């Protein structure tokens, strides 16, 4: 089985109050994955900027971090997307914005466009911080989708690198699949039987995927599966929030068209309401 590894990590930077925290997070991840870090800034190059960045990177130089700073002018979305292709970036890190009340995080319009169009995996951070927090619990989707296999194996790769202790694979089963409408005791029993059957089917599918993951990655991680009946994409975010997950790993969305924007689903829900850090695997 082909295993994804993150050789080059990219981060788009702006000189905002969050800059130091963003750089710290990205550097730490680069060290964890033993990969190269590319800092992309949309704007003119200047010595002042370089020295600021270097001062922030100082603590990580001891650990021999391999980094590169790219300056380029133009439309932020285009610049970041083209640079990530030029530099062969495998993982792009983006920071989230915060609503007035502290509970909600969401992606700004630039980050959203990048997430939709990027060719590489994207990591959305809700609370970049200078200190490092352990990533204890990863929630990953187990949708019935050709991409799921790779997503789950990537989740295990990430979990292994970050020393995660717990992994929950969530099988979202859409309500439409339960063809029985609950109206009385009889239909309730029937609906529950159908649900039970769907659950077993999904579980065996996910188990099959798990057996293909190298044992090295599975060691020290307790694996749990959780079937959920609900709206695709939305429910998993809600679940991740409830389960106090540190990272949510999702499939990349299939091609989006006009209707998908109008009636948000899957990834769009996650973007408007980030429950935790989210990794979208491509």
Percent helix, strand and coil across the chain, each rounded to 5?
Answer: 40, 25, 35
By three-state DSSP, how is residue 119 classified?
coil
Give least dist CB 224 to another protein, A: 7
Q: Put residue 43 in one of left, alpha, beta given phi > 0 → left and psi -120 to 50 → alpha.
A: left
| Kind plus residue range of the DSSP H or E element containing 84 | helix 76-86
Give least dist CB 254 to another protein, A: 20
Six token digits for residue 164:
């995660």
Six token digits for residue 241:
């929030």
Of 19 and 180, CB closest to another protein? 180
Say if CB 251 and CB 151 are below 8 A apart.
yes
Of 82 and 241, CB closest to another protein? 241
Give least dist CB 98 to another protein, A: 15
Give least dist CB 273 to another protein, A: 8
Say if CB 256 and CB 195 are below 8 A apart.
no
Give least dist CB 130 to another protein, A: 28
Which residues are at the interface with another protein (CB under 8 A)? 103, 181-185, 187-189, 191-192, 224-231, 234-235, 238-239, 241-242, 269
Of 192 and 254, CB closest to another protein? 192
Of 44 and 184, CB closest to another protein? 184
Of 47 and 184, CB closest to another protein? 184
Where would I find the beta strands (DSSP E) of 119-272? 121-125, 137-141, 166-173, 222-229, 247-251
């Amino acid at each position: 089985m082909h295993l994804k590894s993150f050789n080059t990590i990219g981060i788009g930077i702006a000189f905002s109050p969050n800059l130091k925290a963003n750089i710290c997070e990205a550097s730490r991840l680069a060290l964890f994955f033993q990969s190269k870090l590319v800092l992309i800034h949309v704007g003119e190059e200047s010595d002042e900027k370089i020295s600021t960045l270097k001062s922030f990177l100082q603590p990580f130089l001891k650990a021999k971090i391999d980094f590169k700073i790219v300056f380029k002018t133009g439309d932020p979305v285009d610049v970041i997307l083209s640079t990530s292709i030029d530099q062969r970036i495998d993982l792009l890190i983006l920071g989230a914005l915060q609503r007035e009340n502290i509970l909600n995080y969401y992606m700004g319009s630039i980050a959203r466009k990048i997430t939709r169009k990027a060719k590489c995996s994207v990591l959305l951070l809700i609370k970049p911080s200078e200190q490092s927090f352990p990533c204890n619990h990863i929630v990953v989707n187990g949708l019935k989708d050709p991409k799921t296999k790779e997503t789950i194996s990537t989740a295990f790769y990430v979990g292994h690198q970050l020393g995660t202790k717990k992994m929950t694979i969530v099988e979202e089963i859409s309500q439409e699949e339960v063809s029985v409408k609950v109206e009385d005791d009889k239909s309730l029993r029937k609906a529950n039987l159908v649900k039970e059957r769907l659950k077993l089917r999904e579980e065996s599918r996910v188990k099959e995927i798990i057996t293909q993951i190298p044992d090295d990655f599975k060691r020290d991680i307790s694996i749990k599966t959780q079937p959920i009946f609900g709206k695709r994409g939305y429910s998993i975010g809600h679940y991740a929030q409830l389960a106090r997950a540190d990272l949510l790993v999702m499939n990349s969305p299939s091609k989006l068209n006009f209707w998908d924007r109008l009636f948000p689903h899957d990834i769009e829900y996650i973007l408007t309401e980030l429950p935790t850090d989210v990794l979208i695997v491509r």
